[in-house]
Structure 1
Amino acid sequence: MAAAALAITLFDLQGGIYIPPVDPAMVVATVCQKAVSRLKRHFPQLFALSNPGPCNLPLEIILMIAEYLDKCALISLASTIPYYMERLECKKRIDLYLSFLLSCDIPYHHVRLVMNRHFYGPEHGLPLQALSKRRNYTTLKHRIKCSVSRHACIFNDELLILTALSMTQLRGDLVSLKSHVEFSGGSICEHLTFLQESPACIPIPFPELAKKGSTSGPFPACEPIYGSCTSCPTDYNITMNWQGVKKGYSIEVLVYRGLGDCRTPENWYWRNTMARWDPSEQSRSAYSPHNPPGSIRDKWNEAGGVAEITDGAWRRALQVAGLG
């Protein structure tokens, strides 16, 4: 169900602009003139009205505006809707964000706007490309060249996210690459650890790679590693490629996440993908039996026209790990 429109009236005050409380979401903010100038640049249509009366804005747009006004211009923002923002000063609620590998984050209202556009038309939200992101950097300690990219697609009215990570040591130093993966490489999700039977453990980077290798020796040669989280709708595969003596190994990680229809942040898909393990939450097999291990990756491939069913590979991987 689409969020109800909010009637917002902007008043000119000596110290800035005042947005009075409104129902049902009750937005309260005091904004300085500099912030209003930024608002005009990002949302010029709001200030192009011949009659400066109330502006009807959806709740998602209010949240987007709040994001642009966050740098100490937004004094307080209150919302009566659970999991949105609650009277915060110059900061945002962590649980509004989906954290991906190496700080690739998606605010909830962005995914909702993308799905609004899908369900209701272009005038109701953001294009799918708004969720795409790419970041390249080199770590200082181990001199690892990293590339992280994020991609999105919609399949059967559900949002799918693919995060791709590649890591290469600039001098081909395998020991440094291995140390980076084991201690700084990031985690697949909040639920995957060395001891996978104990989901409450602190997440560690790429458990399969660390478990198969040794601290003194090189990575073992292996085929692509397939894995799935038993708590959230996340599938992944890890590939190690030999690039020659000079460049050494390159490690590539593909993580596939299913976020559902993104109609509410209280939805099981969003809640379980973004949160640490909660013993009160249903497992993936119990809540979502139609999304068995490997199914999120299969959906992504099918959305791209690739007919590849990986259920067998995932089932064998789970059996080897003692989970199948």
Structure 2
Amino acid sequence: MPLLLPAVANGPCSSDLESTRAQQYAFRLPLELMNEIVQFLPNLSKVCFALTCRTLYNQYFNKGITPNCRWSKADLFLLLEKVIPDYYFCRDCFKLHLWDQPPLCLKKSWKGDNLGLHADDEITAGEIPVTQDCSITFHCLRAIMNRHFYGPLHGPPLEAVTMDTVETFPEINASVTTSIRPRIVDDKLFLSTTCTIQHREENDENLITLISETQWLLCRHLSIGDSGYVFDGWERHIEFSPHRIPELKPRCWSPKNRASQPGVVRSCSQCMTDYQVNINRRCNGPKEEGWSIEVVTWRQLGNGRDPLDDDGLWFCMAYKGYNGDSRKRLPVPESLPGIVRHRWSKGDGVLLDIDGKFVKGLGTLPKGLTVDREGEVVGEKLDAWNNLQDSD
């Protein structure tokens, strides 16, 4: 609503004052009539108007705010996010949070996000595992992309999610090197993660054990090592048990008498994740000694605007339950295996082809479990687990 001010260029006159009084009384309308007028305004104008009127303020900003009013406020917060450099809009609690916050993980010094005190812990955009110890949240993604869209004062730089670590295992003469590199391509954030396992002995059993026991997740659906099923009886759904990548399964890969070879690019059928495994023999002069196993992962995280949009598929990457073969249901080219690696390579000198294969069997439930008409997972295993929890 425009702010009505008397003319002051040549000083107030009687006609100006009378006109101002008439305008002031004209806006003293009954609440019912004001509500009728407000209904014709867009969401952003509704919130701005409510901030200038005490009666409407109590209606739109009371403690028992309804979901519809929350979305009306979202338009205002999205506008404020663009003009206030230090804050980003949190879609979990519909508030503005500072983005210059403590590390994302206690074990690694990542920056760029405030998990904060949200209004409802059950409402969350979730997080995506990146390494064995670290994950990235949607809030961090949004803050980084705000910098890309609005300017350098609106979020942390890409270096905030750049990381290099080395973990050694002297008892078996092995080491694990990790590197994470971010990149923005076509207004979307991508992460490339490289995990290199160096084993300097001919005792292959130690190497196989190290790979099997690692908790490294390529995404919520694929892992390097072993992982078991986790049941959630309260929400009556089964959490997705990550499938071990076929290249490093014990029955599919034996280091003995195996020559070095480049890996095939494979893709998760659930989310926008591609990976490639490269296995090479280590050489100590003319003598071959041990193995070098490199697992490269490419993730398309999206533009950070909405966790439920179909652009970055953030929901499919962060959701812990079964959702079918979500990626295969997308239109071309998102549904093509190898598309994430191809898009990542746009930032390099050589553009890689769209080439790859989907990992099989990711969209199926474990044996003994089915989905009912309401979309809930049921079965003997789930009921037995629920009974065990009730007895505790």
**TM-score band (shorter)?**
0.5 to 0.7
Aligned partner of 2:253 in structure 1 is 213
User: What is the 5 A alignment of 1:61-76?
Assistant: 62=97, 64=99, 67=102
Q: Separation in 1 of the partners of 2:214 and 2:121? A: 36
Paired residues of 1:188 and 1:206 also in contact (CA < 8 A): no
Q: Separation in 2 of the partners of 1:141 and 1:107? A: 35
The superposition leaves residues 220-267 of structure 1 with CA deviations (integer Å, 9 ceiling, x where unpaired) of: 654323211111011110001111246411000100011111112334
Q: Separation in 1 of the partners of 2:104 and 2:248? A: 42
Residue 298 of structure 1 pairs with residue 333 of structure 2: no
1:266 to 276, 289, 308: 308
The RMSD of aligned alpha carbons is 4.0
SS of corresponding position for 1:102:
coil
Paired residues of 1:182 and 1:206 also in contact (CA < 8 A): no
Shift of 1:163: 0.6
The superposition leaves residues 190-227 of structure 1 with CA deviations (integer Å, 9 ceiling, x where unpaired) of: 22379xxx99763254322215224x956565432321
Amino acid in structure 1 at the alignment position of 2:222: L
Q: Separation in 2 of the partners of 1:158 and 1:181? A: 32
The superposition leaves residues 254-285 of structure 1 with CA deviations (integer Å, 9 ceiling, x where unpaired) of: 00011111112334521212333423x66102
- Cα 1:174/1:310, change in 2 over 3 Å: farther
1:109 to 139, 159, 169: 139
Residue 276 of structure 1 pairs with residue 325 of structure 2: no
Q: Separation in 1 of the partners of 2:354 and 2:104? A: 45
User: What is the 5 A alignment of 1:1-324?
Assistant: 57-59=87-89, 62=97, 64=99, 67=102, 77-79=117-119, 83-84=123-124, 96-139=126-169, 142-184=172-214, 186-192=216-222, 202-210=241-249, 211-214=251-254, 217=256, 221-244=260-283, 245=287, 247-268=289-310, 269-279=313-323, 283-291=326-334, 292-311=336-355, 314=356, 317-318=357-358
- Cα 1:70/1:78, change in 2 over 3 Å: farther
SS of corresponding position for 2:303:
coil
Q: Separation in 2 of the partners of 1:239 and 1:101? A: 18
| TM-score, normalised with respect to structure 1 | 0.64
The superposition leaves residues 269-314 of structure 1 with CA deviations (integer Å, 9 ceiling, x where unpaired) of: 21212333423x6610213532210010011112223222042xx1
Amino acid in structure 1 at the alignment position of 2:353: I
Q: Name which one, 1 or 2, has greater alpha-carbon Rg.
A: 2
Amino acid in structure 2 at the alignment position of 1:283: S
| TM-score, normalised with respect to structure 2 | 0.54
Unaligned stretches of 5+ residues in structure 1: 5-20, 26-54, 85-94
Q: Separation in 1 of the partners of 2:159 and 2:100? A: 19
Decide which moves more: 204-213 or 143-152. 204-213
